[in-house]
Structure 1
Amino acid sequence: MPTIEPHQFRQVAESFGVDAERYDRTRPSYPAATVERIVAASPGRDVLDVGAGTGIAARQFVAAGCTVLGVEPDARMAGFARRGGLEVEVSTFEDWDPGDRRFDTVVAGQAWHWVDPDAGAAAAARVLRPGGRLAVFWNAFQPQPEAAEAFAAVYRRVLPESLAAAGFTAAAPAGGPYSVLCDKAADGIRASAAFDEPERWRFEWDVTYTRDAWLDQVPTFGGHTQLPPPALAEVLDGIGAAIDDLGGGFAAHYTTVVVTAARPAAAGRELESSMS
């Protein structure tokens, strides 16, 4: 039976706008060092943000002095970002028409797994200026062991077939399931034959969640956005009780994982010449 890749789950990929305000309020941003390193490694400050969502990453690049255009398939998420002052066009990246626009950097925060990795890398190469950079990144979450075990038990009981039922493990390696997504992103970049060899960067950081803060974020997770209300309520009740047993909060470690590659300057000039 063929494997269904994340980008083929369009109903999930385009479901996050069901509560865009909650998504924007609760989802974590990215370490400043991540944004700074991407900007420093790029030839300029014109940024295309793929899967821009509500603009969490885009706002960070704007704050770093960049001009940002977002591409986002969910009109509700795009609308939220626009209300915050960002320029966003509604489309999947694979189907988006850039016209003659070119960028110094193409980024995707917590979104590249919703893009076909081969088609996405090829599309990024077409819109990058000579020497431009593609940088895709995710926040990989790992709660303290006691919380990981308690959350996994809730999902095994309520949603035994879900990814979360297996995903919360105290022994999970740093990066967890995102390691697989990084591999797929790197393979897509190589398959395009349009970039230098991809690099991987890592940024480590920690946070402590209160019960209310975590329960506010849970409904925004992939798959949770489409749960029937009774099932979501049961998940939230179980996780809330688990956090109460932990004293009302828990510590979590994040690894921001980045896959990035530069477009060779000579190849970029050849591409632009062929299109003129």
Structure 2
Amino acid sequence: MPTLGEKPEQVDSGKKLREKLAGSFGSEAARYDRTRPPYPDELVARIVKASPGPRVIDVGCGTGTLSRQLKAAGFEVLGVEHDELMAEAARATGIPVDVSKFEAWDPAGREFDAVAAGQSWHWVDPEQGPRQVARLLRPGGLFVALWHVFSTPDPIAQALAGAYEEVAPDAKLLVGHSRDEAVGFYRAGCTRTADAFVNTGEFSNPDQWSVSWDQSYTTAEYLDLLLTMSPLALLTSDQVTGLLEKVSAAIDAHGGTFTSNYETVAVAVTRN
């Protein structure tokens, strides 16, 4: 479930492309940490309530946004992150991180109370991932994956879609979607994720959580955020420049600021 809502088959046309996209964030670690929003306190509180204990793995922890929130809530957090640059950024904020792809990570016999994944589970192999979680969790342990659903006012969404179509017509990325389409897409992804876990026979009690909230952006702030989005890894530097210019003009025409309504969705299952 990539960040801008593009369909997996449009983004992941092969393993090398998938790895390119997954590895596109490290070079923008500081920008990523600066621009990507934290998770709603209500959802963090639900994780705390649902977990049978404090030991948690943060899958694909990135720069440590979710890790820091869980740590502040009283968890003992260990990040697992395949990108060394992202791991360094998380460590700089006090989060211990092992550098590894989650599927290949060796827990050295350790057992955990919860496994969480913020904006990252779509990069994990859908078959190997649930099996790895089953190995890590104690009975009654919690798995939860969360995603922010980014949406913008129609003029901005249409400008973004038009800019992609003009500068990169062959990329065929699904952007500029309506909020309802985006939320529906992510909720369907949560259902597929829950099914993948339950079908292993190792998990039960699937549940979905969501919180709606608003975030205001200036032109500069939104362009900063866009530069952390994986679809830009598919573009040349000239294409990125052209896209940002067009989106900038659209936001300026909209008054130079707008409010984005986010929906943060989550799927949770329990280890049998």
TM-score (ref. length: structure 1): 0.89
CA offsets per residue over residues 206-259 of structure 1, 9 Å max, x none? 111110100111111012135321111111111101101101011211111101
> C-alpha distance in 2, partners of 1:141/1:233?
21
Determine whether 1:100 maps to 2:109: yes
Which residue number in structure 2 is paired with residue 58 of structure 1?
67
CA RMSD of aligned residues (A): 1.9
> C-alpha distance in 1, partners of 2:172/2:46?
32
CA offsets per residue over residues 105-132 of structure 1, 9 Å max, x none? 1000000000012211111111011210
Determine whether 1:249 maps to 2:242: no
Which residue number in structure 2 is paired with residue 197 of structure 1?
205
CA offsets per residue over residues 152-206 of structure 1, 9 Å max, x none? 1111111224464x32123643525423432331222122211113111111111
Determine whether 1:91 maps to 2:100: yes
Q: 1:221 aligns with which of 212, 215, 229?
A: 229
Which residue number in structure 2 is paired with residue 112 of structure 1?
121
Q: 1:67 aligns with which of 56, 70, 76?
A: 76
Which amino acid in structure 2 is aligned with residue 102 of structure 1? Answer: E
> C-alpha distance in 1, partners of 2:27/2:260?
26
> C-alpha distance in 1, partners of 2:214/2:266?
17
Change in 2 beyond 3 A, CA 1:143/1:5: closer
C-alpha contact 2:171 2:234 (8 A) present in aligned 1:
no
Change in 2 beyond 3 A, CA 1:152/1:109: same
Which amino acid in structure 1 is aligned with residue 183 of structure 2? Answer: G
Q: 1:212 aligns with which of 220, 226, 229?
A: 220
Change in 2 beyond 3 A, CA 1:30/1:128: same
Which amino acid in structure 1 is aligned with residue 257 of structure 2? Answer: G
Which amino acid in structure 2 is aligned with residue 49 of structure 1? Answer: D
Q: 1:10 aligns with which of 13, 19, 39?
A: 19
Which amino acid in structure 2 is aligned with residue 213 of structure 1? Answer: E
C-alpha contact 1:202 1:255 (8 A) present in aligned 2:
yes
Aligned residues: 262
Which amino acid in structure 2 is aligned with residue 103 of structure 1? Answer: F
Secondary structure class of the residue paired with 1:108: strand
C-alpha contact 1:149 1:170 (8 A) present in aligned 2:
no
Change in 2 beyond 3 A, CA 1:200/1:4: same
> C-alpha distance in 2, partners of 1:228/1:240?
18
